[in-house]
């Protein structure tokens, strides 16, 4: 009986060792069959840097978007104000058109807006030249108003007397009263188109400065007794 027990114990120990050997061999083969994986390098710093850059980029985009919205609102508001309050830009454009009125083929005198010509200003701008010549671009139905001097003298001898000038205040005009036309007065282009054509589309006259110290300023004094010729060429 003792021998049987000893034999059985030896057999169990043998089986246990054999199983342990087999398990150890299997584990060794499994480890050797598994390819070696290189250690993973930590990228925490790189990720953190990338997150910071993304945050800054998002902030910049947000700021630029807000600035663009403010600029758009400002432009829209400026346009409204310029229309309602006649902004300096609009005033400058209007002023430019006003100064160019009748002096450019692109901005002729029209029926809706008569052109005023101050003869004294034109005389002074001529810097003392005895002949003042200006070109006026005007539609046929437009009106020109002459002012700035008390009177002008029209010499009609070289133009057909059968066709008189027609003025707004004086009416039909010929050489009565020495050819003197009192100013201010208006010249309607359409009513005088034939007369103008006979004189190469030129309206011409003269004026002699007669200085009166009781009512005239010193500017006229220096031109006292001098006769100036005016011609306005209509196109």
Q: Give 170-209 pLDDT, tens digit per residue.
A: 998 876 557 899 999 999 999 999 999 999 999 999 999 8
Exposed e or buried b for every residue in 90-116, given b needs 16+ CB within 10 A?
eeeeeeeeeeebbeeeeebbeeeebbe
Joined together, the tokens standing for residue 164 give 């008189």
Instruction: Choose between 180 and 75: higher pLDDT.
Output: 180
**Comparing C-alpha atoms, which of 94, 102, 82 is closest to residue 145?**
102
Among the listed residues 151, 148, 97, 152, the one whose alpha carbon sits nearest the alpha carbon of residue 121: 148
Mean pLDDT check: name the lowest of 103-117, 178-192, 216-230: 216-230
104: nearest Cα among 142, 136, 57? 136
CB within 8 Å of 224: residues ≥ 6 apart? 209, 210, 211
Q: CB within 8 A of 228, min separation 6: which ones?
A: 123, 126, 130, 131, 132, 206, 207, 208, 209
Q: Which comes out higher in pLDDT, residue 35 or 50?
A: 50
Q: Is residue 127 helix, strand or coil?
A: coil
Per-residue pLDDT, 46: 73
pLDDT of 43: 67
Give the dihedral of Cα atoms 27, 29, 32, 37; nearest 10 deg.
-60
DSSP-based three-state secondary structure for 26: helix
In this predicted structure, the answer to whether residue 114 has a pLDDT above a threshold of 70 is: yes
- pLDDT of amino acid 79: 55
User: Is pLDDT above 60 for 53?
Assistant: yes
Q: Which pLDDT belongs to residue 162?
A: 78
| The pair of three-digit structure tokens given for residue 2, joined into one six-digit string | 């003792």
Provide, rounded to the nearest whole percent, the portion of the chain with pLDDT above 90. 39
Residues in the chain, total: 235
Identify the weakest region by mean pLDDT among 63-67, 78-82, 183-187.
78-82
Break the chain into its structural domains and give their ranges: 105-234
- Other Cβ atoms less than 10 A from the Cβ of 207: the count is 23
Mean per-residue pLDDT, 13-36? 47
Is the pLDDT confidence value at 29 over 80?
no
Residues in a beta bridge with 146 = 117, 185
Q: Which residue has the tokens 């810097």?
A: 127
């Amino acid at each position: 009986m003792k021998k049987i027990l000893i034999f059985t114990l030896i057999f169990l120990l043998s089986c246990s060792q054999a199983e342990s050997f087999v398990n150890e061999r299997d584990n060794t083969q499994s480890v050797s069959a598994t390819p070696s994986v290189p250690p993973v390098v930590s990228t925490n710093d790189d990720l953190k840097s990338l997150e910071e850059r993304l945050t800054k980029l998002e902030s910049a985009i947000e700021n630029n978007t807000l600035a663009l919205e403010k600029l758009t609102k400002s432009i829209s508001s400026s346009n409204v104000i310029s229309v309602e309050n006649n902004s300096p830009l609009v005033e400058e454009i209007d002023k430019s058109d006003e100064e160019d009125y009748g002096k450019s083929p692109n901005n002729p005198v029209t029926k809706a807006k008569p052109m005023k010509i101050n003869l004294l200003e034109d005389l002074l701008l001529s810097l003392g030249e005895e002949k003042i010549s200006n070109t006026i671009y005007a539609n046929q139905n437009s009106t020109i108003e002459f002012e700035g001097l008390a009177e002008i003298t029209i010499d009609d001898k070289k133009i057909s007397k059968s066709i008189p000038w027609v003025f707004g205040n004086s009416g039909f005009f010929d050489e009565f009263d020495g050819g003197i036309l009192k100013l201010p007065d208006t010249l309607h282009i359409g009513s005088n188109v034939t007369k103008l054509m006979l004189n190469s589309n030129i309206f011409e006259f003269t004026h002699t400065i007669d200085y009166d110290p009781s009512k005239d300023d010193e500017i006229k004094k220096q031109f006292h007794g001098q006769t100036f010729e005016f011609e306005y060429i209509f196109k």
